[in-house]
Amino acid sequence: MNAPRMRVSIVSAGAVGTAIGEKLAAVGHRVDYTAAPATAAENAQLLVLDLGDSDLEAAVAELLPHVQPRQIVLHTAASHGVGVLQPLAERGALTIAAHPAMIAADAARLDGCGWGVTTRDELAATVAELLITEMNGHAIAIAEQQRDLYAAAIAHGSHHAAAIAAQTAELLEQCMDAPSMRGAQLLSEPLAQQSMSLALSGEFTPAAPADAATVERQLAAIGAGPARDSYVAVARSLAAQSAPAAVWEVLEAASTSQEKDFRF
């Protein structure tokens, strides 16, 4: 079953909206871009709101007098479900929250992408799945009350993971006889990719440090800074599950030292 060809207006503040527009245009939808939600509502059968949280709420208020029954309104914010669109639903709009789980946004990266989708009813869920399938994506249902957790997971798996990857590369570069970011990338990129792939497949379980003396030497080698903070935070998380008492004591001492450093 294919979704009908529609007039689509993208109200966008960024690259995600542009990528969505390109994918929908490629399968025959008539797409335009606008910064004015009210103007978009006059002409479109599908409105895509690719906006930040505060801008999204303002756009809903602006759309309210103009939205039409059976118009589809989809937003891409990770932390909101369809509750933010409820005023539009009460005027007859079909509302969808659909966030593509990606960092860098362009049309090619939408291929194979999972989307966190929240809807009010089965009809909206079907429409969302048809649209996302047309963009070569996968619709994953997220409950309304779990959107904050979903957004936290996305942030943890993207921004936080990227920070650790960048810190890893910096530490590896410091190790080299002839430091180069290219060399650090050659060492760290396969490590990051394999760790993620094997962890998600269940073939690799992150392990807590097993030897206190090793942890002390590694902390001393890293020195003060964000990389040490990340090392301690993640190692403590793992050690809380299973680690020798001596390891936990070293990490607790390092954590206490960090807390003192943050005090003014």
Q: Are 12 and 18 in contact (CB under 8 A)?
A: yes
Sign of CA dihedral 114, 120, 126, 127: negative
Residue 228: the pLDDT is 94
Q: pLDDT tens for residues 158-194?
A: 999 999 999 999 999 999 999 899 999 999 999 888 9
Residue 262: the pLDDT is 45
> Cβ-count burial of 50 within 10 angstroms (0-12 exposed, 13-18 middle, 19+ buried)?
buried
Q: Which residues pair with 12 in a beta bridge?
A: 50
Instruction: Give the integer Cα–Cα distance in Å for 135 and 26.
Output: 9
Q: Where are the alpha helices (DSSP H) in the chain?
A: 15-26, 37-43, 53-63, 86-89, 122-134, 147-155, 161-175, 181-201, 212-222, 226-239, 245-262
Q: pLDDT tens for residues 134-154?
A: 999 999 999 999 999 999 999
Count of beta carbons in the 10 Å neighbourhood of residue 247:
23
**Beta-strand pair 46-50/7-12:** parallel
Residue 14: the pLDDT is 83
Question: Is a pLDDT exceeding 90 seen at residue 207?
Answer: no
Q: pLDDT tens for residues 70-79?
A: 999 999 999 9
Instruction: Give the integer Cα–Cα distance in Å for 99 and 168.
Output: 29
Top pLDDT among 122 and 248 is at 122
Residue 13: the pLDDT is 64
Q: pLDDT tens for residues 221-264?
A: 999 999 999 999 999 888 887 778 888 888 888 887 665 554 43
1 pLDDT tier (thresholds 50, 70, 90): low
pLDDT, averaged across the chain: 90
Closest CA to 38 of 8, 67, 73, 76: 67
Q: How large a percentage of the chain has pLDDT more than 70?
A: 95
